[in-house]
Chains A and B, each alone.
Chain A
Amino acid sequence: GAVVSQHPSRVICKSGTSVKIECRSLDFQATTMFWYRQFPKQSLMLMATSNEGSKATYEQGVEKDKFLINHASLTLSTLTVTSAHPEDSSFYICSASRLAWDTDTQYFGPGTRLTVL
């Protein structure tokens, strides 16, 4: 199967600090990775899409200076929440696709629970 991991699984930080979340494809090379956020009892909302070696494409309403995405290799993408505030507390989930955007299934990571105090 296609396994995607995230680290950390949970993180608690103080308001104003930055937090980095890693997303790794463990047994395949991911051309494209996606970042979602999910508030309690709500659905997943796409934040941004990133291709290896390219700048991420952000969805409308998502601040790219606040949510920094780096997709430096075919197996690793990172999301950095800069100057985090309590309203950034959420469940962040990444997914990865093997091939081009429109031809393959996304495999989801287990998620990272961020709590900003």
Chain B
Amino acid sequence: GQQLNQSPQSMFIQEGEDVSMNCTSSSIFNTWLWYKQDPGEGPVLLIALYKAGELTSNGRLTAQFGITRKDSFLNISASIPSDVGIYFCAGRDSWGKLQFGAGTQVVVTP
């Protein structure tokens, strides 16, 4: 089956620093999605990418859909305390099914 590798597993950063995380896949996806999950809650969609090479921003978040369609990255600029949480990448296949990465836990210290 398809394998999604997300890294890093966790990040401890100071407020104001930038954060980068990425996902790679052994197979091609039609869509890449980035979600944030707070403890005890469902994932919330941050950014959706639909075309290879697409670069999309949402406030301090920027994500790109890799040219090969097998990878994506997410950047968070000027982190703030409320950025704390677990970030998941997800690839959507042609059947509409999502496969999630293992998640990146972000901890922001003042």
Task: Kindly state whether residue B42 has any CB partner on chain A within 8 Å.
Answer: yes
Give CA–CA (A105, B50) in the complex, Å. Answer: 11
B41 near A111: Cβ-Cβ < 8 Å: yes
Give every chain B residue within 8 A of A43 (Cβ-Cβ). 88, 100-103
Task: Kindly state whether residue B44 has any CB partner on chain A within 8 Å.
Answer: yes
B43 near A108: Cβ-Cβ < 8 Å: yes
Among B30, B44, B88, B97, contact of A46 (Cβ-Cβ < 8 Å)? B97
Give every chain A residue within 8 A of B95 (Cβ-Cβ). 101-102
CB closest residue in chain B, given A45: B100
CB proximity to A under 8 Å, residues B42-83: 42-45, 48
Given the known A-B contacts A46-B97, A101-B96, are A110 and B41 also in contact in the complex, defined by CB atoms under 8 Å? Answer: yes
Give CA–CA (A54, B16) in the complex, Å. Answer: 50
Give CA–CA (A106, B95) in the complex, Å. Answer: 13
CB closest residue in chain A, given B88: A43
Q: How many residues of A contact B (CB 8 A)?
A: 27
Give every chain A residue within 8 A of B103 (Cβ-Cβ). 42-43
> Which of B40, B48, B88: most chain A CB closer than 10 A?
B40
B100 near A102: Cβ-Cβ < 8 Å: no
B96 near A46: Cβ-Cβ < 8 Å: no
Task: Kindly state whether residue B21 has any CB partner on chain A within 8 Å.
Answer: no
Nearest-neighbour CB distance to chain A for B25, whole angstroms, equals: 14
Give CA–CA (A28, B75) in the complex, Å. Answer: 31
Among B30, B40, B92, contact of A111 (Cβ-Cβ < 8 Å)? B40
Task: Kindly state whether residue B84 has any CB partner on chain A within 8 Å.
Answer: no
> Which of A43, A45, A103: most chain B CB closer than 10 A?
A43
Task: Kindly state whether residue B98 has any CB partner on chain A within 8 Å.
Answer: yes
Give every chain B residue within 8 A of A104 (Cβ-Cβ). 96
- A sample of 10 cross-chain residue pairs with beta-carbon separation below 8 angstroms, ordered by A number, consists of A6-B42, A43-B100, A44-B43, A44-B100, A49-B96, A49-B97, A101-B96, A102-B30, A102-B92, A102-B95
9 residue pairs, one from A and one from B, having the closest CB atoms: A101-B96, A108-B42, A102-B96, A43-B100, A44-B100, A111-B42, A110-B42, A108-B43, A93-B42
